[in-house]
Amino acid sequence: ETGWDTFILSGEQEASWIYEGVKQTGVIPSDHSSLLVDIGGGSVEFVLCNATDILWKQSFEIGGQRLMDKFQHSEPIAEVEIKEIAYYLKGELKPLWDALHSRGGVKTLIGSSGSFDTLCDIYCRQEGIVLDAKAKGYALPLDIFQSIAKDLLAKNRAERLVTAGMIELRVDMIVVSLVLIETLIAQLEIEEINVSFYALKEGLMSLVVNGKL
């Protein structure tokens, strides 16, 4: 009826476009490879990359809503549920562990939008940091992430909702997202986290503007 062509976006194509968005922010280190992570409701996209190229990418059907439905039945989340999620992820993400191990591993985790935006907002509110309105990304200190994660995982929904920097859109899914991020940090021995405020939308816009799509 509209005359528009439509298509179903594959997870791998989505990962590529997310990378194009994140690449514009300057949060990808130029001197070593990093792991880009985009946590959605149905899937999670992983991109091993540097500042100029994608080295490996894969989409996994382990999104936040799926993990919530499968594992989280308590508020606050029970310790046994956290352990079950971590165990499940270690198995489901074997292709990721293998890909990174064969390429020498990574020390930098880059989170794009979603729960990572909220974690950055919570950090800034706690520290009284006012981000420039034109900021495209920010560094989230690892110890600060661990402190925020410990605090949020111990809270029920109502308590999380009144946490400074939290938004209702993220209050549920952020719990399992934290467990996923913690699992990545532990398995990969991550040393730093960068947050990109750009993702799929900005990547698509960049490709269109530059005549690549």
DSSP 71: H
Q: What mean pLDDT is reported for the chain?
A: 95
Please give the share of the chain, as a percent, with pLDDT higher than 70.
96
3.10.20.310, 3.40.640.10, 3.30.420.150, 3.30.559.10: CATH of 11-206: 3.30.420.150
Task: Write down the pTM of the prediction.
Answer: 0.94
DSSP 104-145: T--SEEEEESTHHHHHHHHHHHHHT----TT--EEEE-HHHH
The neighbouring-strand residues paired with 56 are: 48
Domain ranges of the chain: 11-206
- CA neighbor of 130 nearest in space, from 120, 118, 116, 145: 120
The stretch 78-106 carries a mean pLDDT of 98
Burial class (CB within 10 angstroms; exposed 0-12, middle 13-18, buried 19+) of 88: middle
User: How far apart, in whole angstroms, are the C-alpha atoms of residue 167 and residue 171?
Assistant: 6
List pLDDT tens digits, range 56-79: 999 999 999 999 999 999 999 999
DSSP 172: T
Quote the pLDDT of residue 2. Answer: 65
